[in-house]
Structure formats: C-alpha cells, structure tokens
Structure 1
Amino acid sequence: MRLLLLLDYQHLTDRHSHLRQGGADPVVDVAVVQTSELGDRSYIAHDGHVAIVVDPQRDLDRLQAVLNERGLRCAMVLETHIHNDYVSGGLQLAHQHNAPYAVNAADEVAFERHGVADGDELSVGGMRVRVVATPGHTDTHLAFVISGGPGPAAVFTGGCLLYGSVGRTDLVDPARTEELTRAQYRSAHRLVDLLDDDAGIFPTHGFGSFCSAGSRSGGEDSTVGQEKARNDAFTATNEDTFVAQLVAGLTAHPAYYAYMGARNRAGAGPVDLSTPQQVSPTELRERISAGEWVVDLRDRTAYAAEHLVGTISIALSQQFATYLGWLIPWGMPLTLIGETPQQITDAQRQLVRIGIDRPDGAATGKLRNLADGVATRSYRRITFAGLAAAQQAGEALTLLDVRRADERALGAIPVSVHIPLHCLLDRLGDVPPGPLAVHCASGFRAGIAASLLDRAGHDVVHIDDEYAVAVTSGQATG
C-alpha cells in the first residue's frame, strides 16, 4: 500500500510506507488531505482508476484537485460518523460525482443516503469495503476496512482508534460518558481482532483535534501492530483502568461542537467562498456600536499597537476558526477586518468548515483608512520578564490566567486569578477591577482575551510570552 500525504492544501508527494508488502505493486493507494487547522484528515483510497473518499471536509476543491491530478473518478463517499467538530462535505461530494453516500443506516438524516450497517461488504472498482460498527465516539460510529489484492488492508477508523489514543466519549451526552468509554474500549479491541498486524490505520481525528482524548502519540502513519504496543486502549491493564484514565483526561471542547451534529444530519449545502460585502468605515462603526462581532484578523502584535475600539482580535492562524467558533454567540452577525482580500478568503475557508457559511461583511486595507479619522486604541504587550520589572517598580497589576482548568492544575502563578478564555464572556462580572495583565500558555489566547477585556472597557496588558519562561524564572509553578 502506498501512502500519499497532502499538506497545506497544495503539495502532493508520493512516499513508500512500511505498509507496502513484498515489493509488489500495491492495488490500493491512499492519499491524505490534511486539515491541520482542525486536526483532522480526509482520505482518498483508490485503485488507480476509481476512488473512495472517506470523511471529506466541506471545502471540496482540495479533494477535487487530488482526484484531478491522479485522474480518478470518485465512485463512493464514506462517512465514519456524524461529526461534532466540522461540517461534512460528504453529501455535496456525492452529489457532484453522482456517487453513493454511505452513512450508517441507523443515523437519522434528512437526505437520501446509502445506508450501511455492521458486516456489510461493498465493492468499488478493484477495492472491497467491509463495514465494522465501532460505537464509542458516537453511538453509530463505523470503521471501514478497505482491501484490494495481496497487500495489507487499510482501516479508516474515524474517531475510534487514533494514533496512540482514541476519540473522546463525552460529546453525545456527558451523562453517558462512562457508558460510551466502555463501548470505545470494546470497539477498539474488536476492530484489531479482525485485522492483521500489518493493516494500516487511517484515523480522521487525532492530529491536534479537540475530538481526541487520552495520549497524543501522534505520527504520520501507523499499523494495527504498532497501536497494540502503544495505544491507550491496549496498554491499559483492563477496561476499568482505561475508563478511569480516559474520563479523568477529558478537557473542555469548543462550544460550536453543539451545532455540528445537527448540521450534518440535515446535510450541508455547497460552499460559497466569494468575496463578501465590503463595509465602509461608517458601517463598521455602526456594527461595532450595535454590539456585533467585528473581528480583526491581523496578528496580535499589530492589534495591540493599534485597533478600532470595540473590535476583537483573533489572528488568522491555525487556531482561528476553533477559537472564533468557540467564543462567538452562535448566530451573531460577523464582520471581518483584514489587511488584504486574501486574508478574508482564507478566514472564510476556515469558517465554512465549522458552519459559519458567510461573514456579514468585510473591510480590508490600512487601519488608518478604516478608522477614517476616528480615534483608535492600543494596549501594552510585555514578557514575563517585563511583568517582573513592572511589579518591582510598584505597578499594581492583577494577573489573569485564561488557560483551561486542566492546564492550570499542572501549575500556576500563585497570585493569579483564573478565568478560562472559553468562560470569559460569561464571567465578565467576575473580572477584578483595575489594570489586568493577561497570560495563557503561549500568548495567542491571552491576545484574544485582552481584546475582549479591552472591548468591555478594562485596562489591559497582554503578556505575550511562553508560560514555560515563567516557570523557569520561578514566577510560576508547573
């Protein structure tokens, strides 16, 4: 079997993996389309002529580029589960190619699909697909074992069996977490019992996704044999130990997850990445005054130096959509500010994946032009060394830690106040008065928090530094 990895949307490279057996030409190849911003992967399994696409992301142009480059026809689309962390492009891809869309027959969906269940076998070109029920991450989760010739099989495990860990089990219903964790353990064991050790494992989650739980062993590829040796589901001494460890390690997950399942069951329409309505400086001020979200995509350094009063800083980065989707009141009108039209387009691509289909407007260009004579605002950025100097000089600063609770449990600055970023908007009344110095683990989340606090009228200082520096200097534990 040959593994092809598509990184950063554009560069497709061939490489021979350890999954290839005996020097023979493989019958089934796998191309990987990576969505690093969400920590997810989509897959194209093919026999050189026809393709099976597994768990496609919604911006289908990336997948279509791979199909075109390889001269492949999409003959089937497989969905391992109804996703919580992104809107699937499966229905639209199936429509575009007039291909069957295989979804668990037990899922209640509002569209026609090819219903499949445990034990079903499908044939696509020179490939055979076996359907395996793997409940745990969701009740109706499936894995797909694809084979085609003498080489090892490929198993597409979705959110069941990841590299070193498994998918989280608290998304369906927190009250059922233990029940689903036990199901996850049994599904993982059942799955590997059906496969040879050289079978390749291709998970959808687990590359930084909040859908993963447990250890983060990572890596670019893996086999059943490797996972038996390192995966939490197999290294735990027994089921009870596995359940206790996984449940204890579950952390907060993005709020937009609550909306993704319903959107996927309804079936998402096509993506529109065309340029949104351009907003004038006057309209920007009106939207800000109305309490709408006007999000500045520039980097946090530029934002701290100068920004429009009432805007929110979420820099266009790997984590942009995750944190915007986590924090914005769902359905709130959204306007984007960028330095260039390309920034707006790149932000749109990230947002459609989590179901924010169209921004309500955009403004691009130099900030002075967008301000149009109206006063702007700034706040200080300092390091932990700068914080120590300010404190020694007698400056009264209340330290605000916006990391998650699981991060703070490992160490903290003793005198700091703790309000996680994802709780901040609901707990603005708990924010202490007076000047605030805001920190996180790297400076990214603290930048978002500083902008939200600045928007709420607080006097803020952004600690733009690595928390590890504070530990090394003795300012923090952990």
Structure 2
Amino acid sequence: MFFIDTMDLEGLGNRSYLAGGRRAAVAVDPPRDVDQVLTAAARRGVRIVYVVETHIHNDYVTGGLELARVTGAAYLVPAGAHVSFARVPVADGDTVTVDGGLDLRAVATPGHTPHHTSYVLREQGQPVAVFTGGSLLIGTVGRPDLVEPRLTEQLARAQHASAHRLAAELPDETSVLPTHGFGSFCSSAQTSGGDTTTIGTEKSVNAALTTDVDSFVARLLADLDDIPAYYTHMGPANSAGPAPVDLTPPAVADADEIAARLAAGEWVVDLRNRVAFAEGHVAGSFNFEADGRIATYLPWLIPWGKPVTLLAESPEQLADAQRELVRVGIDRPAAAATGTPRQWIPEGDGLASFPRSTFAGLAEHGTDDVVVLDVRRDSERAGGYIADSVHIPIHRLHERLGEVPAGTVWVHCAGGARAAVAASLLDAAGRDVVAVDDGFDAAAEAGLTVVASG
C-alpha cells in the first residue's frame, strides 16, 4: 500500500506532497520551512529517501536543498536546471525505487519552464498518481511567461504538448497532483472543478486537452495576468541554493524604536485584521492581514530588501507571519512587537484611524465630490468598473500615490482585503480615505453605475 499526504500552503496558493510506502517516502516540491514535512514523515514512521523538484520555482523559496541535507535524501532536480549546488540531475525516463514496489518515473513536461519535469508514482509498475508541478493543473496549466519574454509563446506550445503527453501515457484514473493552481500566480488561470482531479477528468475539461494548439496558445497568452514583483528574486535564490531558515522571534521593538524606524522610512507592518486596523493603528504603518495573502502582497509591494518591522496582536500571529514570509525570501524582520496599538506609540501620541464602508454607503454618499479608487488588477477591471473611477492596481499604488487626485478617497477592490492595504498606504501618506469593505458585485446592486468592459 502507498500513501500520499498533501501539504497546503494557502498563503502562496501552492501544495507540496509526501508520498511513500511502509518504510520510505519521497517529498515533492517542499516549502522552505521543512519542519512540517519532517513532522508528516515522522507521523507516518517513514524515512525520506528522495526529495524532488519539478522545476526551479518562481513563486517561492524551496526547502528542497535543506530537507535533503537534514534527512540525507538524494536531491533530484531536472538536469536542465542551472544550479550552484550538488544534486542528482534527472532526465526524462529516469526511475527511482521509493519503497518496495513503489517507484517514481520522471517525465519531461516543458512549458512552465524549459526544464520542467513531472513525476509518475507507480505501484507495481502501474501509475497511480502524477506530480505535475506547474504543468497540468486542475482545469488549467502553469503560466509560460515567467522565464524569458522571448520564450513565452514557445513555452505555451510546449505546455500544450506536455499536457497531451501526460494524457496519452497515463491511465484515466491517475490522480493529478499539481504544485500550483490553488491561488498561486504561477497558474495561468484560476483552477476549476474542485481541488482534486484525474487524467480522465482533465481530458474533458482542460483547455490544453480540449483545444487545438493555436487556439489554446492564443487564449493562454491573452489571459496572462500580472507577475508579482518578488518573483524576480525567487528563481535566482533557488538556483543558488537557499540557506536554512531562522524562525526564532525577532528582536523586540518598543514604541520609541517603532517611531524611529518609521522616521527612517522603513516599513512597519501591522498584521491585525483590517477592521481592528481601521479603528486604530500606529500612524504611518501599513496593514497586511496575517490571515490574508501576506506572502503574496507584502513581498509584491515592499521595495526588495527594505527592513520591515512586524506588529502583531499575539506571539502566535507573529510566528505565523514569519513562517509565511520566509517562504518568499523575507528571512528576518528587523524587529517586532506584540500587544495593542497603544503599546506601540510613545506616551502622549494618538492613534490614527479611518472609516470603513460598503458600496451601498458609497452610493448613499454619492460619487460627485470624492475620488473612487479601484485597486484591482487590469484583468479584473476588464470585467466592469465604476464610472469615473481612478484605476491604480494595488501593486503599483505605493509608487503612484502622487497620481491619486485630491479629495477624500473611497478605495475598493474585489472583496475588501486589498482595499484595506491600499487604504493603509493612503492613510500613511496623509490622505483622507474610506476603505470599501465589500464584494464588487454589490456595486451595481447598490445603484452605482458600473461600466461594462469595452
């Protein structure tokens, strides 16, 4: 018998896997914080004998090198990937025995990257699952534009061919287990049809398998979304070989140090939920909710390498945020503090705050004397937008604050989370702001004029 354990990295929209038999296992695309993989192996009572990468990742820092080091496992990396550390290069067709009658076969599936490799898990020679990384996802495929713009169309065509190869070589009942596609921007589109799938299911629903190559490529390229800025740093970090992580608590900052760091132009990030932040916060601080997508949006917005101080309501919230951030290369906060906002400001200072509202509140107030700021991505705005609204995507706002017209700014996104981040940026810049904490569908329902895309 075999097992497959799935480890969800919800903040990154990814998954990693531990698969094996009674005594031994293989880890697939592990996260940088490898302790959870080790815990899963200990729970199963197995030894990790192989660590495999489907590709050099662009959206997170891998834990593969460290996991192989601490377990003594062989580290399998696609042979075409240029890396600066010792590893076992894997080529198409290479097979390793994991445990008894359980083996793993490498299948070259270029497209997401030129060297991308999937791994077929076989029991007694019969395929039972395929770890597809950024190749065949649930209802879609990994995006082909993260390596080099001049290669994008070529890689898109390769994605189509790779998907067809998997579909042709594997039985319909084979489970498809991708790394990307659960919110990761490495996916070319949002996944559809649930969170599990098989080769047979994908044959009927995945555009890569139901559409001719030219139509598929044209649609794929047209639908590509923005690329998070921090992706630029992930590939090189993974190729160089990431260092082990340090998840010990950061140095504690008192109110005076927090004020000094703000005065020096450093980022002070409040991890509390957006409702609590709006009600009262340290003036000049930014709000990235710890239970939101901090691992995507903080590294996307912050100038890379700028010191960051984290403010949390509890040590547990701080520790969770640290874990999320090391996965994307923000290794050590400059400092941190836990408690309440009153503890984070010098005695005699007041807290900053701003109001929250809904689209119904905006409709009741009227849009004539305010600035309506839409911070959704271009692809989202294309589906409809509020008439006369200003559009600056959230990941561009920090560098384009000067473009926001004068007046009170009512800022919205698709659901409220990014609007809260944007409101904190505007508030820190001294603007009067109202955060619209509402789903965009409510805009038309409230009577606001929503313009359909052109």
Smaller-chain TM-score range? over 0.9
In the other structure, the counterpart of 1:443 is 416
* Counterpart among 387, 400, 412 of residue 373 in structure 2: 400
Shift of 1:429: 2.3
Count of residues in Structure 1 that have an aligned counterpart in Structure 2: 449
State the alpha-carbon separation in 1 of the partners of residues 45 and 428 from structure 2: 51
| Aligned position for 1:50 | 24
Please, which of 133, 156, 162 is the counterpart of residue 181 of structure 1? 156
Distance 2:248 2:152 in 1: 41
Q: Which residue of 1 aligns with 2:62?
A: 88
The structure 2 residue matched to 1:277, chosen from 248, 251, 255, is 251
Query: Does 2:376 align with 1:376?
Result: no
Q: Does residue 123 in structure 1 map to residue 104 in structure 2?
A: no
Alignment of 1:103-252 (within 5 A): 103-126=77-100, 127-149=102-124, 152-214=127-189, 216-236=191-211, 238-252=212-226
What secondary structure is seen at the aligned counterpart in 1 of 2:372? strand
Question: Which amino acid letter does the alignment assign opposite residue 428 of structure 1?
Answer: L
Aligned-pair CA distance for 1:66 = 1.1
Task: Tell me how far apart the structure 2 counterparts of residues 124 and 472 of structure 1 sit (CA, whole Å).
Answer: 56
Q: CA deviation at 1:246?
A: 0.8
Cα separation, 2, equivalents of 1:149 and 1:276: 49
The structural deviation recorded for 1:244 is 0.7
Counterpart for residue 456 of structure 1: 429
| Closer/same/farther in 2, CA of residues 426 and 363 from structure 1, 3 Å limit | same
Does the Cα contact within 8 Å between 2:255 and 2:345 map onto a contact in 1?
yes
User: 2:50 is aligned with what amino acid?
Assistant: M
Rounded to whole Å, the distance in 1 between the matches of 2:312 and 2:449 is 36
Q: 2:321 aligns with which of 324, 327, 347?
A: 347
Contact 1:50 1:124 in 2 (8 A): yes
1:424-443 pair list within 5 angstroms = 424-443=397-416
Alpha-carbon distance in 1 for matches of 2:446, 2:351: 35
1:419 CA drift (Å): 0.6
1:240 offset after TM fit, Å? 0.3
Q: Tell me which amino acid in the other structure corresponds to 1:468.
A: D
Aligned to 1:475: 448
Q: Counterparts of 2:305 and 2:432 in 1: how far apart (Å)?
A: 29
CA contact (8 A) 2:49 2:71 kept: yes
Aligned to 2:38: 64
User: 1:251, CA displacement in angstroms?
Assistant: 0.8
Give 5+ residue unaligned stretches, structure 1: 1-26
Give the Å deviation of 1:168. 0.6
In the TM superposition, 1:412-431 aligns within 5 A as 412-431=385-404
Normalised TM-score (structure 2): 0.96
SS at 1:270's partner residue? coil
Contact 1:214 1:232 in 2 (8 A): no
Q: CA RMSD in A?
A: 1.4
Q: Does 1:318 align with 2:292?
A: yes
TM-fit CA distance, 1:151: 5.2
Residues 55 and 88, structure 1, Cα contact 8 Å, conserved in 2: yes
The one-letter code of the counterpart of 1:385 is: A
Q: State the one-letter code of the partner of 2:418.
A: R
Tell me how far 1:387 sits from its aligned partner: 1.2
Quote the Cα distance in structure 2 between the aligned partners of 1:218 and 1:87.
28
Identify the residue that residue 19 of structure 1 maps to in structure 2: none
The correspondence for 1:388, drawn from 363, 377, 381, is 363
Instruction: Summarize the Cα distance change of 1:215–1:372 in structure 2 as closer, same or farther, 3 Å threshold.
Output: closer
1:32-51 matched pairs, under 5 angstroms = 32-51=6-25
CA–CA distance in structure 1, aligned partners of residues 228 and 361 of structure 2 = 32
Aligned to 2:341: 367
Quote the Cα distance in structure 2 between the aligned partners of 1:318 and 1:56.
Answer: 21
Post-superposition CA distance 1:205-262 (Å, at most 9, x none): 11111111135214232111111111110121x1000001111111112111111000
For the pair 1:357 / 2:331, whether they are aligned, the reply is: yes
Any idea what SS the aligned residue of 1:129 has? strand
Partner Cα separation in structure 1 for residue 189 and residue 413 of structure 2? 22
Query: Tell me, which stretches of 5 or more residues in structure 2 are unaligned?
Result: none
1:297 — aligned with what? Answer: 271
CA distance in 2 between counterparts of 1:405 and 1:263 reads 29
CA shift, 1:366, in A, is: 1.6
Q: Taking every aligned residue pair, what percent have the same amino acid on both sides?
A: 51
Establish whether residue 259 from structure 1 lines up as the match of residue 230 from structure 2. no
Q: Distance in 1 between matches of 2:363 and 2:98?
A: 64
Q: CA deviation at 1:295?
A: 0.2
Q: Which moved more, 1:147-156 or 1:106-115?
A: 147-156
How far apart, CA to CA, are the structure 2 residues paired with 1:318 and 1:90?
26
Structure-2 separation of matches of 1:352 and 1:82? 17
Tell me the equivalent position of 1:28: 2
SS in 1 for 2:221: helix
What SS does structure 2 have at the residue aligned with 1:244?
helix
Q: Residue by residue, what CA displacement relative to the aligned partner does 1:255-313 show, whole Å, maximum 9, x if unpaired?
A: 11111000101111222111100001101000000110000011111111111111111
- Whichever residue aligns with residue 171 of structure 2, its letter is D
Query: Do 2:173 and 2:200's aligned partners in 1 also have CA atoms closer than 8 Å?
Result: yes
Deviation at 1:150, TM superposition (A): 6.4
Query: How far does the alpha carbon of each residue in 1:41-97 deviate from its partner, in whole angstroms, 9 at most, with x for none?
Result: 111110121001110011111111111111010010110000011111001110111
Per the normalisation by structure 1, the TM-score is: 0.92
State the one-letter code of the partner of 1:363.
Answer: A
Q: Is 1:327 matched with 2:337?
A: no
Determine helix, strand or coil for the equivalent of 2:448.
Answer: coil
